[in-house]
Amino acid sequence: MRKILLLLGVISGLAAFSVETFAQTVTLTVKNSFGQTINLDSYSCGGGTCSPAPPGSVANGTTSSGFGLTSASLPSVQVRYQAFKNGKYYGCQWMLGTGIIGSNCSSPSSSVSAYQGVYPSPTCTFFKAPVQEPYPSCNISVTGVMSP
């Protein structure tokens, strides 16, 4: 009888233990300094559906509204914008992701690259390095810049 009561105590203790999950938000904006309107080529959001989705175009000299997603499954955003100039396509790709290791925010995953325009290729950068908010939110927001 004691063994059964002990076992029931262990089971109820395990049932009371739960793993806390937190939703993280990844937000990306794009600043257009290319000299003409840039157009959305493609995008994807790992861990869910982009909401809001990136705008179809960004006028020269402006910054898009924020787009991305909130998810408890390590969200990431990848987006490509391009422009047609002097008979060639020029494009930039930005990727941003968040993560959690144990009870800490991990270093954000980020990359930026020109994916069209052999020479001269566009300059694709982040306005500043991505930095995550402290745990438990681990939210991250950054601006990608496309210039000539």
In sequence order, which residues have a C-beta less than 8 Å from that of residue 67 and are 6 or more positions away? 27, 28, 29, 43, 50, 52, 53, 54, 55, 77, 79
Q: Report the distance separating Cα 58 and Cα 78, nearest Å.
A: 16
Residues of the chain with pLDDT > 70: what percent?
84
| Architecture of the structural domain at 20-147 | Sandwich (2.60)
Q: Mean of the per-residue pLDDT values for the chain?
A: 84
pLDDT digits (tens, 9 = 90+) for 71-119: 888 899 999 999 998 888 999 999 999 877 777 888 888 999 998 766 6
Per-residue pLDDT band at 39 (split at 50, 70, 90): very high
pLDDT in tens, 58-67: 999 999 999 9
For the whole model, what pTM was predicted?
Answer: 0.82
